[in-house]
């Protein structure tokens, strides 16, 4: 009856080419391309600015104050993966630091996305290992309780299945279901191509009001100009 104490070794990862392609677009573009779903809560912030990446999810469910399963998930990482750490209850202790990051990097992990706290942020920044987290805390954790690895989890308000495509940047984190990865990547590409043209027009002084043909619907909705 429980989903605790399980490590799933074989998971189906989203198509690598599709995931790589997703990494060329920002989170906002991917989120739009997918129909405005899949976005983690905006409290998830990067520990340093400027990172933009995509990867495939390996998931881990942790309990408050206990990071034992972080060592278990490390063994399940494959190159190109992003570790998604969910919590069974709200907690902001520092579940992850430079030693675990060293281990994750040795396995080929591209990032950690954790609905809790991290520590050693100066070292993590120097190592170039990006983390999106709920907070920063030096508070250490114990190794006492079983969670699970590679089960479906809810992280920062969004469902993540093992193998899903993840995209993260300064705007936050979005989850793309594995089976949608290619279509979303294509839609994002189309959207971005489209944006280039729009950007040029706007830079030239064209109004969005005209470019998007908004004047008529605005008037119809009752907008009044006064002096």
Number of other residues whose CB lies within 10 A of the CB of residue 22:
28
Q: Binding to a copy of itself by residue 45, rule CB under 8 A?
A: yes
Contact call for residues 131 and 118 (beta carbons, < 8 A): yes
Q: Binding to a copy of itself by residue 68, rule CB under 8 A?
A: yes
Ranges within 159-178 binding a copy of itself (CB under 8 A): 159, 169-172, 174
Number of residues this chain uses to bind a copy of itself (CB under 8 A): 104
From the list 82, 113, 184, 188, which residue makes contact with a copy of itself (rule: CB under 8 A)?
184
Q: Rounded distance, CA 75 to CA 214, Å?
A: 54
Q: Binding to a copy of itself by residue 100, rule CB under 8 A?
A: yes
Least distance between a copy of itself and beta carbon 16 (Å): 19
- Judged on CB neighbours under 10 Å (0-12, 13-18, 19+), 132 is buried
Measured from the CB atom, the residue of 46 and 55 that comes closer to a copy of itself is 46
From the list 65, 80, 189, 191, which residue makes contact with a copy of itself (rule: CB under 8 A)?
65
Ranges within 118-137 binding a copy of itself (CB under 8 A): 119-123, 125, 135-137
Q: What tokens were used for 11?
A: 């998971």
Supply angle C-alpha 7, 9, 10, rounded to 5.
Answer: 140
Q: Binding to a copy of itself by residue 85, rule CB under 8 A?
A: no
Cα dihedral sign, 182-20-17-80: negative
Q: Binding to a copy of itself by residue 89, rule CB under 8 A?
A: yes
Q: Binding to a copy of itself by residue 212, rule CB under 8 A?
A: yes
Q: Of 41, 70, 47, 43, which is closest to residue 130 (Cα–Cα)?
A: 47
């Amino acid at each position: 009856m429980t989903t605790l104490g399980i490590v799933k070794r074989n998971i189906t990862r989203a198509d690598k080419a599709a995931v790589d392609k997703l990494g060329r677009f920002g989170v906002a573009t991917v989120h739009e391309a997918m129909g405005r779903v899949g976005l983690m809560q905006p409290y998830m912030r990067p520990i340093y600015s400027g990172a933009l990446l995509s990867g495939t999810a390996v998931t881990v469910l942790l309990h408050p104050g206990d990071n034992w399963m972080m060592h278990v998930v490390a063994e399940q990482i494959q190159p190109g993966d992003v570790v998604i750490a969910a919590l069974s209850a709200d907690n902001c202790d520092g579940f992850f630091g430079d030693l675990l990051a060293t281990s994750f990097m040795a396995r080929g992990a591209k990032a950690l996305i954790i609905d809790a706290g991290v520590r050693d942020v100066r070292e993590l920044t120097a190592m170039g290992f990006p983390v999106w987290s709920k907070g920063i805390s030096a508070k250490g954790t114990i190794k006492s309780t079983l969670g699970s690895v590679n089960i479906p989890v809810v992280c920062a308000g969004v469902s993540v299945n093992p193998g899903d495509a993840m995209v993260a940047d300064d705007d936050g984190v979005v989850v793309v279901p594995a089976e949608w990865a290619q279509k979303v990547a294509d839609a994002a590409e189309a959207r971005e191509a489209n944006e280039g043209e729009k950007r040029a027009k706007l830079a030239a002084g064209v109004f969005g009001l005209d470019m998007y043909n908004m004047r008529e619907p605005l008037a119809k909705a009752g907008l009044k100009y006064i002096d």
